[in-house]
Each structure stands twice: as C-alpha cells, then as structure tokens.
Amino acid sequence: MRYVFLIVMKDMKRRLRSPAALLCNLAIPIVLTLIVGLVFGREGEVKLPRIKVLLVDEDKGLASNFFKQGMKQGKLAEMIELVEVEKAAGLKLMEKGKASALIELPSGFTAKVLDRTPAEVVLLKNPSETFLPLIVEEITETMAVLMNGTLGIFEVPIGRLRAMFDAKAWPSGGELTALLENAKGGIALVKPYLTDTLIAMKTTTVSAEPQEKSPAKFNFFALIMPGSIMIGLLFISEITMRDILRERRAGTLARIFTGPVEAGTVLAGKIVSAFAITAASCVLLLAIGRLGFGIRWGNPAALAAHLSGSILMCIGIMALIYGAIKSDRVADAVLPVVIIVICILGGAMFPTEIMGATMRRFAPASPAFWVIDGIKKVAVGGAGFGGIARNLAYVYGVGAATMVAGAALLGAKVRGRG
C-alpha cells in the first residue's frame, strides 16, 4: 500500500506542476454547457418534441370530457399528443415505452366530481424517461386544480342543474334563464383562464398549496450539464490512463521496477491516481454547476454513489482500450472517435429529450446514456437510490467488467516493459 500511495502522490504532484492538459479538458464541459444553455435560454426556452400521452376514459361523462378538452387547448395542444386508448391497449403501449405517460379517468369520475367527493385521476409515468413524464404530472395536477376551482365557483349552478336532471323533466325557460344569470359572474371570473391557454394554470397550482414553497423554475442548464460532465469524465480519465503508455515508452516504468515494486502495485497506483484525479475534477464540475449555473444536484448520497460508479466505468473503459492498443499514435487516432461516438449516441452532446425517436431508441446502447440519465433522475427528478437502481447496476457492472479486463491487458504491458 505504501508504494501505491507514493505512485498516486507522484502523479498528483506532476498534474499540479503541469495542469494545462487537465484544465483544457475541464474547460470542455463548462464551455459546452454555457454555450448551449445560453443559446436555448436559462429557463429552458427550447422546443421539445410533442409529449405522447395516452388517455383511458372509463367515465365518458361531463367531467372527463372537460378534462380531455382542457388538454387539447392552446399551447397544451402544441405540447401534448393526446391519444385515447382502451386500458389494456394503453398498458401494453406503456410496457413497450411508446408513450411518456398514461392518464386514467375511472368510471364514476363525473359523479364524484359533481358530488364534491374525492375523485382520483390515475397517472402512470414512463420510468425510462426523466423530464417528459414530470411535465405531464405538472399538467395533470394543473387540470385537477382547475377543475376543483371551477366547481367551487359554479357550486350553486351545478347543484341546481343536477336537481333538474334528477327531476327527469325538461327545465322551463325561466329556470334556464335563472340558472344562466346565476352563473354569469362565475363565467366572467374564469374566462381569462379558459380563452387563452391552460398551461398558465401552473401558477394556480403553486398558490393552491401555500404551506409549501413555490418550486423553482426549470433550469435548462440542468438538462445540459449532466452530458457535459460525462464528456469531462471520459476525457479526463483518458489522459490519466494514457500515462501508462507514456511512462512505458519513456522508460519511467523500467526505472520504477529497479526498486522492490511489482507490476500489480504499479498498475494499482495508476488506477487509484486516475480515479482520484477524475473524481476531483468531477467535484469541481459539480461545484461550478451549482455556483455558476444554479443547478441543484439533489440527493448527495445517491449522486455520489452514482458518480463514483460512473468514474469507475470511464476509467475501466479507458483501461480496456489502452490495454488493447499498442502506442500513443494509435490512441490519438482511436480514442477521440470512441469518445465522440459514445457521447453523441448517449445524449452527452445533445439531450435525448430533443433527439428523434430512432436516436432515443439506440441511446441506451451507450454507456454515456446510463450516466447522464442517472444524474438527471437525481438532480431533476429528485430520485434516491431506488430511482437509480438500474443506472447503478449498469455503471458498476460495466465498470467492474472493463476494469478487470483492462487491468489484465495493461498488467501484461507493464510486466513486459519491466
């Protein structure tokens, strides 16, 4: 362990004496986040693809129809592609990931709404998506608040109307006139909300819960920064693992082996130093994201566990590649292409939320996707360990597999030079 520690300290001191390469690679994710964020706007003024929402209407009543029509008005119609389906078909589509969310209006929904008794709207979110289901959840809550407020305003007219229906007789002209006259004030009150766009009702949702703090506006930098962090992790882990080839070519490893040091010790020291340098760079990127871009990173324990596995995976991938290639020249030709492909496919360059359907389908094939998706779930979705269980399993599993294979290949190179 003493020799491992000495190797780590040597590498850290050398990086501090000549930090240019490290700083340049740190600047890449920061500049990328800044440019893309400023182009689209801090508050996320970007045109996302229409959100596909499945609707199961088992009520077929006045309230369910009001709910459906409300989601088809104004800018909501531009944001949401509402598709009515039967429940069984809708559940099958959700299992296949064909929609961002499914809304179910159960039987008897209208009766409960008119009777002012608790009525439920069931929302099923697609777990493979991060942002779009959250948007649907906000809109659904907005519709619930809107309906509840409307019922409060029209409580008296609705009561009279129900009495007319229960009487099973057509109301007289005088009764209808009195009903409309009584409702006139309420119609004038809610008219500004109904004639433009229902999405503005998000403000109503916030004010309806005064005991809670108003949620912060969506920060578009939070959509970009996770991908930028992934780019930084790959490039930084690449330059740290490249040291093995450089020291092997320069004869540094041969000098190290003149002492009582084994190849496994040298390799362990290089891997630990790579992890330490990459982890320190990641902490710096997180600090810049919080202080410079105002990103709230969520559960610190879950984020730390996820990023530790992500760093392990990045170093393992680089160890495997450097174990397979023979020289710096080959590394210069191969590594940039590998990193760019991993990043583009996984949503590091362009968020998966604005990708086409085909690209989103193939994104999980990239290791970058699982890293970025996990960060977003914690930072934006507020997920804990349970919410990122699949991401943790992937990054630690791939990290362990690539690290073992890469260490075996690199160990052979280190021993050969010694």
66-84 residue pLDDT tens: 788 777 776 777 778 888 9
* CA nearest to 224, candidates 371, 37, 366, 391: 37
* CA nearest to 101, candidates 45, 141, 59, 65: 141
Rounded to an integer, what distance in angstroms lies between the CA atom of residue 177 and that of residue 258?
Answer: 103
DSSP state for residue 297 in the 8-state scheme: -
Cβ(121)–Cβ(142) below 8 Å: no
Rounded to an integer, what distance in angstroms lies between the CA atom of residue 33 and that of residue 290?
Answer: 13
Cβ-based neighbours of 49, under 8 Å, separated by 6 or more: 353, 354, 356
* Section 289-310 average pLDDT: 90
Rounded to an integer, what distance in angstroms lies between the CA atom of residue 363 and that of residue 345?
Answer: 5
Give me the percent of the chain exceeding a pLDDT of 70: 72
Cβ-based neighbours of 203, under 8 Å, separated by 6 or more: none
Q: pLDDT value at position 202?
A: 36
Cβ(339)–Cβ(234) below 8 Å: yes
Indicate the residue type of 56.
Answer: V
Report domain extents, the chain.
Answer: 2-42+220-417, 51-207
pLDDT at 215 over 50: no
Report the chain's terminal Cα–Cα distance, integer Å: 20
Q: pLDDT value at position 210?
A: 40
* CA nearest to 26, candidates 221, 188, 239, 248: 239
Give me the percent of the chain exceeding a pLDDT of 90: 14
Q: Give the strand pairing for 101-105 and 122-125.
A: antiparallel
Q: Encode pLDDT of 224-241 as tens digits.
A: 888 888 988 888 888 888
Q: Tokens for 340, please give them.
A: 């760019």
With respect to CATH, is domain 51-207 assigned 3.30.1560?
Answer: no
CB atoms within 10 A of CB 162: 13
